[in-house]
Structure 1
Amino acid sequence: MADLSAMPNLWEKYAVPKLIRVACSQPAVMKDRSQIVPKADGDVLELGCGGGINLQFYDRSKITKLTGLDPSAELLDYTRREASERGFDMDICDGIGEAMPFADDSFDTVLTTFTLCSVQDGAQVLSEMRRVLKPGGKILFLEHGRAPDKGPEKWQRRIEPVWKHIAGGCHLHRPVAKLFETHGYALAENHAHYAPKTPRWLGWMEFGEARPK
């Protein structure tokens, strides 16, 4: 008899990374990435770098050093392969946003794309971002989150308990801008829209720039 207790771990290890790669590289998502990623400059930390999808959008002339952090070994393998194929010199680290293995004041830019939805403790991650940012540093973000309209928002609440188990802990209902604003950040830039050809309960996107107050 098959060991059914192993099925969730196999799903997380093999299926979820592929699901994330496909979902996070749809044309509408890639268009948004192309708007935010090139704004990274200086010493850059990409939080949730697994998959390496953003590498094609960096303006290398503006980057002094690029570091990536992700807890998924499988997604980090994709990142290493992408970096190698693109000739991108990048420090790739295994770790979580709640306890980043970096010294204080290490980075000019922290980039997070489709990552805050799946962290365990959003407040702690934002605290760690503040710690590792140099004075005057910035956070660039592209995230999906809580829809502003009652219909999609209602479906987000209904679907999220099941969705989290399918999609690697991804939350549908986290408020992106509010998360920054309630944890000591000012939004220097914030854009939001529903992604085209995407269910509205999944398609509310926010991207912009946040700086510690």
Structure 2
Amino acid sequence: MSWWTDRVVPHVVHAALDNPGLEQLRRETTEGLHGEVLEIGFGSGLNLPHLPDAVTAVHAVDPSDVGWRMSEQARGASRVPVDRVGLDGAGRIDAEDRSFDDVLITFTLCTVPDRDAVLSEVRRLLRPGGALHLLEHGRDPRPVAARAQDVLNPVQQALVGGCHTNRVVLEPFESPGWVLQSSAADHVGPRVMLPLLNHLTRAVVVPVAVAAA
């Protein structure tokens, strides 16, 4: 990783995602999690305060040592034990098949180079009856906004460690092997007067639960 991605991006992401507007979405996304949870893209630990009582442990995957250090306070305040089990969700995580009751991913599939590899590993690791709980931003369904996202995308990738503004969130789950249990779309982000800038800064957020077939 570059110096910018390694040292600066974790702080940028934390500042952008640590806001009251996302707390309700985090609560909705984590609802129903239970038992041993694998979280891919753990970051600075922003999901920890919203975990339901049924969660007994969180096993974190994240490539950033800076982000892991930033999460120290959240981990210390959490009733749920947290350990770090991997750096790369697209590679093979050091765990046996069907090791986890549920998987949690928030604002991470927008960035990973190979979503299919990450989701393949998720399917390997999920126990029968488990689900992937996903909160993600992506391509706006409004054509004008989507075109604006396409224009912004190279800038977003350069500034935010490879994050895409315009990935279609649910596209990977249209293939066989996934059962969409629930989903909802909303718009979050700053509202400004200039219409074009408003398109650039808005994000489509989809809380979704997906079970492996």
TM normalised by structure 1 equals: 0.90
Give identity over the alignment, percent.
Answer: 31
Distance 1:58 1:91 in 2: 15
Q: Are 1:95 and 2:67 matched, yes or no?
A: no
Distance 2:157 2:174 in 1: 25
Distance 1:94 1:76 in 2: 12
Q: Are 1:66 and 2:58 matched, yes or no?
A: yes
Return the match for 1:106 from 89, 99, 102. Answer: 99
Q: How many residues align?
A: 205
**What residue is the counterpart of 1:29 in the other structure?**
22
Q: Which amino acid aligns with 1:206?
A: V
State the shift of 1:119 in Å. Answer: 0.6
- Check the 8 A contact 1:72/1:94 in 2, yes or no: no
What root-mean-square deviation, in Å, do the aligned CA atoms of Structure 1 and Structure 2 show? Answer: 1.7
Q: Which runs of 5+ in 1 are unaligned?
A: 1-7
Q: Are 1:160 and 2:153 matched, yes or no?
A: yes
Q: Are 1:182 and 2:175 matched, yes or no?
A: yes
TM normalised by structure 2 equals: 0.90
Q: Which amino acid aligns with 1:124?
A: A
State the shift of 1:179 in Å. Answer: 1.8
**What residue is the counterpart of 1:126 in the other structure?**
119
- Check the 8 A contact 1:194/1:200 in 2, yes or no: no
Give the number of the structure whose residues are more often helix, by fraction.
Answer: 1
Q: Which runs of 5+ in 2 are unaligned?
A: 192-197
State the shift of 1:183 in Å. Answer: 5.5
Distance 1:117 1:103 in 2: 26
Secondary structure at the aligned position of 1:31 is classed as helix
Q: Which amino acid aligns with 1:123?
A: D
Q: Which amino acid aligns with 1:98?
A: A
Q: Are 1:51 and 2:75 matched, yes or no?
A: no
State the shift of 1:210 in Å. Answer: 0.4
- Check the 8 A contact 1:52/1:83 in 2, yes or no: yes
Distance 1:79 1:147 in 2: 31
**What residue is the counterpart of 1:75 in the other structure?**
67
